[in-house]
Structure formats: C-alpha cells, structure tokens
Structure 1
Amino acid sequence: MTPAQPQRPSPPRELLLQTASELFYREGINGVGVDRILQETGVTRSTLYRHFAGKEALIVAYLQREDQAMRGQFAAAGEQAVSPEHVLELIVEGVANDASRHHTRGCPFINATAEFPDPASPVRQVVAEHRTWFRDTLLHALTAAGRDDAATKADTLVMLRDAVLVGCYLDGAETVRRTFIQSARWVAGLR
C-alpha cells in the first residue's frame, strides 16, 4: 500500500485564489466584486462556489495564504540560521525585504482590517490569528537570544513592522526601509 499523497489545490481553485489575491491587494477587497474575479479568471460562478462558499470565504483564503507565506519565510529563516542572533537578523531583513519588495501597497492585514471593522468577522479573526502568531514568533526569537523584556521588545517590533509596511507605501521604500532596519536592530539588541 502506498502512503496517501497530500491533496493539491485544484487548478480552478488556485486560479481563483491567485487572481483574487492580486486584485484584493492592488485594488482593495471591497472594490473588487465576484463578477470581476470571474471575468479575470474565466471561471464559472458555479466553480467559484464549489471552492468557496462566497466572497468572504475567498477573502479569508487570501489572508490565510498571506499568513502561510510569511510563516514559510520565517520557517526557512529558522532553518538557515546559525544562532539565535542570526534568527533576529534574518527576521529584521526579511520584514524589510517584504515591505520594500513584495508588499509595496501596505500590509494586506492592515488593509483588510480597514475594510472590515467588525472584530468578530471571519476576516478580522484571520488577522488577529496572524498578529498573535507574529508577536509570539518574535517573543520566542527574542527570548532564545536572551533579550531582557522580550515581551515589550516583541510588541515594539510588531509596531515597527506595521509602520514599515504602511511607510513604504506612503513615503517610498528606501528611506523607510533604512529607518526600519536601524530601529528594529536597536530594539532587537543587534549590533
């Protein structure tokens, strides 16, 4: 008997999610309707609803995809790091690179929060879970590196990440990136 293979997402589901993710990030979630997504993908409405219960489920999948991408980046950094200090270095550089290269229109989680103000909504729940994971990951890295008051430092680094993602969009990447790196290194206790 052969072991079960992990299920891959179907091509239509992946196409819908990829297209919706690009449109939601570039044009805003509420500014993009289901009809636009269907038009861009060439997928039928029945296929969309076979994979997603509705637009809200598609939005949740988009944010979960963003979350998983960041978790993957952090896991890869942890695997290549040679010390707890190096983990902190990789986190700071990774956040700066993400803000200045990949998320040049702000933070997808902050953007979603602005469009979905109800904290009990499924969209906001995904955002809250992501932020909790991010803060806990920073707390663990700071603690492993022997930093005093790691909880306050983790909170500060979360705030600095928010600032660099918004700042790169508003003020341009290079200056904001440089300021973020200097500030985050100082907070993390890096030389």
Structure 2
Amino acid sequence: MCVIAAASTSSSRAKGSRRRQRPSSRERLLASATHLFTTEGIRVIGIDRILREADVAKASLYSLYGSKDALVIAYVRALDESWRTRYAERISDLSDPKSKILAMFDQAIADQPESEYRGSHFHNAANEYPKPDTDSERGIVEAVREHRRWLLDTLTTLLTELNGYPGLTQARQLLVLLDGGYAGCRIERSTMPLEIAKELAKSLLGAPPADYCI
C-alpha cells in the first residue's frame, strides 16, 4: 500500500509539474495563430482550427482576446516586437549608421529560408485586408503600419546621423528596395532579390543623398 501510495503521489507531482511548465492559454493561442497565419494565411484559418491547435476552449479565446481579429492584431504586434528585438541584437556591436542600415537587409535575408520564402509577413497580412470594412480590420492594417512607421523612423534617424541632415526621402527609397526584395523572394523562393536590394542600397548610400539641399 505504501509503495502504491508513493507511486501515486509521485505521478501526481509529475502531472502538476507538467501543468506548471505548460504555456498559458494566451501563449498557446498566440503561438498557434502565429504558426497557422504565417504558413497558411489569416482569413483562411477559422477560429476552431486555432482552438484545436492550441488545445484551448472557445470561451478562453473570447475572454483573452475578444475576437479573431483581436488575435490577428496581437499576432502582428508580436511579429513587430520580435523583429525589433532581433534587429537590436543584430546591431548591438555596430557603431556605423551605414552598417546598421544594411543590417536591416541582412535580417530580412536571414529570415527568408526559415519562413520558407514567404516574403514579408507584414505585407502578407496587409494584403489580406485591401479594403478593411470594420474597426477591427482597420486595427489589423494599422498594426502593420506601426511596424512600417518604425522601419521608416529608424532608417530616417540613421540617415540623419550618417549625412548630418534629415534623411526621410532616402529612407523611403531604401524601404522601397526592401519591399521589392521581399516580393521577389516570395516569387523566386530565393534570397537573391533581397541580396540585390542590399547591393542597390549600398549604391544609394554612396550617392549624393536625395534629401540634400544646397
């Protein structure tokens, strides 16, 4: 009896430990949504599919996020946070603003094989809502734009540091190169378009800045 009781107690402790180690319902929902949205798309994925993947009850999704669209917004913002964090780590040992600018292209290039050449997840999310009809759909597009504004602001700041005066026009030109590189990678299933975009960015940085005024 003592042996059986001890075994039962040990089993209960193991189960309790596994429960404590398991990610929360919120984390599981976001992780499942991220996997499904990035690999298959957003609109094609229904709530029930996310719930099955996450092993979470429907009531939990509505209590934690309120709706699928709110979960999509959380997904886009999580992508943005991840991008910013990884970029900060990539440039942590860099001091030259030009190197920091080119590091954006390096990060985009490094991401493509892992994402199976799906281009930009931010572009893909925006493409699914070409004419947002509701406040929640507009919120999704706005979350994408927040990431884009951060990219533009970061590039502008670095170009201002590099050239000594505001670099908004040149920042927009670099962002267009990044956009085109992402689109090409998705079509060609290769990093070459982004690598070419990086080389063009080097040429642009070596030319007289578009923002320069005599």
TM exceeds 0.5? yes
State the number of aligned residues.
181
Are 2:33 and 1:33 aligned? no
User: 1:91, 1:53 → 2: CA distance?
Assistant: 34
User: 2:143, 2:125 → 1: CA distance?
Assistant: 10
Stretches of structure 1 that go unaligned for 5 or more consecutive residues are 1-9
Name segments (4+ residues, structure 1) moved above 6 Å.
none
TM-score of the superposition, structure 2-length normalised? 0.76
Identical columns (%): 31
User: 2:105, 2:51 → 1: CA distance?
Assistant: 38
Are 2:119 and 1:106 aligned? yes
- Using the TM superposition, name which of 160-169 and 91-100 deviates more: 91-100
Are 2:30 and 1:13 aligned? no
Larger CA Rg, structure 1 vs 2: 2
TM-score of the superposition, structure 1-length normalised? 0.85
Stretches of structure 2 that go unaligned for 5 or more consecutive residues are 1-22, 208-214
Match of 1:177 in 2: 194
Are 2:144 and 1:127 aligned? yes
Where relative contact order (Cα < 8 A, 6+ residues apart) is larger, the structure is 1
The partner residue of 2:88 within 75, 87, 90 is 75
Match of 1:42 in 2: 55
Q: Structure 1 residues 111, 174: CA separation in 2 closer, same or farther (over 3 Å shift)? A: closer
Deviation at 1:123, TM superposition (A): 0.5
Deviation at 1:65, TM superposition (A): 0.6
Give the alignment's Cα RMSD to 1 decimal.
2.1
Do the aligned partners of 1:17 and 1:62 also contact (CA within 8 Å) in 2?
yes
